């Protein structure tokens, strides 16, 4: 079983770090870590395109922004395996299809629950929605805190990283500006 293999490796890591993996407080830690890692990285097991397609509907004349903002996400930085987390804001302008509103946060979770970097996460969400729904445009903005910057390295606890990517209609400054005004807190 994969969980047993992961657990055995964490037991060895604990030992290599100078701790006793048989100590009372650490005995079950390798198993707990293995289960936590499998949960946090479950995005590899899901297909974001199929998730969007599972609730894809024809919409006749709606050609305005559909915005899902303040989507909480948690991910693991692939460089240090430390968490980064924050908010994702997504909008698209339908051409022909819309999707169930809950599918947008599900797509965010699928990509976030993989070893990630924020820039790639932004791009993957945008590309998935663009390629699956073929809207007039998509925009994704992510605001995140990175524990690899807060707990180690430069140790800047209040830093916030923002990334964005967009297609189609959102290449027009006026459309992007409207989106940015709508997602302001």
- Nearest Cα residue to 65 out of 87, 88, 48, 90: 90
Return the bridge partners of 91, or none: 67, 139
- Could you tell me the two tokens for 145? 């805190």
Annotation says 78 is catalytic:
yes
Annotation says 148 is catalytic:
yes
Q: Which is catalytic among the residues 5, 78, 119, 177?
A: 78
Annotation says 128 is catalytic:
no
Go through the chain and tell me how many residues it has: 185
Q: Which is catalytic among the residues 80, 143, 145, 150?
A: 80
Annotation says 9 is catalytic:
no
| Number of other CB atoms surrounding residue 102 within 10 Å | 10
Residue carrying structure tokens 């990175």: 146
Q: Three-state DSSP class for 111?
A: helix
Q: Which is catalytic among the residues 31, 59, 148, 150?
A: 148
Q: Which is catalytic among the residues 89, 116, 118, 130?
A: 118
Annotation says 80 is catalytic:
yes
- Could you tell me the two tokens for 43? 């995005």
Strands 83-93 and 66-77: antiparallel
- Could you tell me the two tokens for 148? 């690899």
Tell me which residues are annotated as active site: 77-80, 118, 146, 148
């Amino acid at each position: 079983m994969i969980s047993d293999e992961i657990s055995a490796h964490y037991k060895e890591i604990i030992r290599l770090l100078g701790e006793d993996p048989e100590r009372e407080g650490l005995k079950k830690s390798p198993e707990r870590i293995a289960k936590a890692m499998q949960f946090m990285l479950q995005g590899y097991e899901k297909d974001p395109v199929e998730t969007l397609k599972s609730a894809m509907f024809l919409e006749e004349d709606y050609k305005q922004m559909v915005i899902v903002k303040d989507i909480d996400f948690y991910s693991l930085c692939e460089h240090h395996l430390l968490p980064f987390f924050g908010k994702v804001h997504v909008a698209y302008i339908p051409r022909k299809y819309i999707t169930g509103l809950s599918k947008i946060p599900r797509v965010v979770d699928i990509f976030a629950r993989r070893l990630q970097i924020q820039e790639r996460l932004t791009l993957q969400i945008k590309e998935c929605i663009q390629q699956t729904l073929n809207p007039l445009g998509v925009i994704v903005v992510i605001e995140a805190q990175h524990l690899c910057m807060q707990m180690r390295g430069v140790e800047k606890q209040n830093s916030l990283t923002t990334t964005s990517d967009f297609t189609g209609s959102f290449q027009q400054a006026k459309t992007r500006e409207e989106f940015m005004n709508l997602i302001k807190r």
